[in-house]
Structure 1
């Protein structure tokens, strides 16, 4: 195996500011900020806007936003009930 071919892969804490949740994993991400973890060691911390703790798909709070009524717009454009356009 060639040396210096792969990036530095190390433990990193990712912190979701929206949910107040942090998790320790391994990554190539770098950060100047550090945090002391539960095990007493200090790790670099990367702040993220959204994670599985705050993402609507994973929390079950997803909503479908139907601006202008997509079904109604489709029916206007391509014909109403059972009608074929053209």
Structure 2
């Protein structure tokens, strides 16, 4: 592996704005913001949503059948 061509792989804080939760993982993402957690300063990435606030992961996802499209399809093309 060549030296000096790969980005720095370091701990980065990601903040979920919807759930107001911060988690730290290693990443190469570049950011100008930073946050201090337990006396340590980390680069900060603001997120709109994460697995803590996304409806798919929280179990609050709703399936909407607008206009009964599935029922219309089955009535038109279903077994007779």
TM-score (norm 1): 0.82
Q: Which residue is equivalent to 1:13?
A: 13
Q: Could you list the runs of 5+ residues in structure 1 that have no partner in the other structure?
A: none
Q: Which residue is equivalent to 1:57?
A: 56
Alpha-carbon RMSD across the aligned residues, in angstroms, is: 1.4
Count of matched residue positions in the alignment of Structure 1 and Structure 2: 80
- Written as runs of structure 1 = structure 2, the 5 A alignment for 1:1-86 is 1-38=1-38, 40-79=39-78, 82-83=79-80
Cα deviation 1:35-67 (Å, max 9, x = unaligned): 0012x1111110011101001111111111111
Report which of the two structures shows the higher radius of gyration computed on alpha carbons.
Answer: 1
Cα deviation, residue 76, structure 1: 4.3
Q: Could you list the runs of 5+ residues in structure 2 that have no partner in the other structure?
A: none
Q: Name the structure where helix makes up a greater proportion of residues.
A: 2
> 4+ residue runs of structure 1 moved beyond 6 angstroms?
none
Q: Name the structure where strand makes up a greater proportion of residues.
A: 2
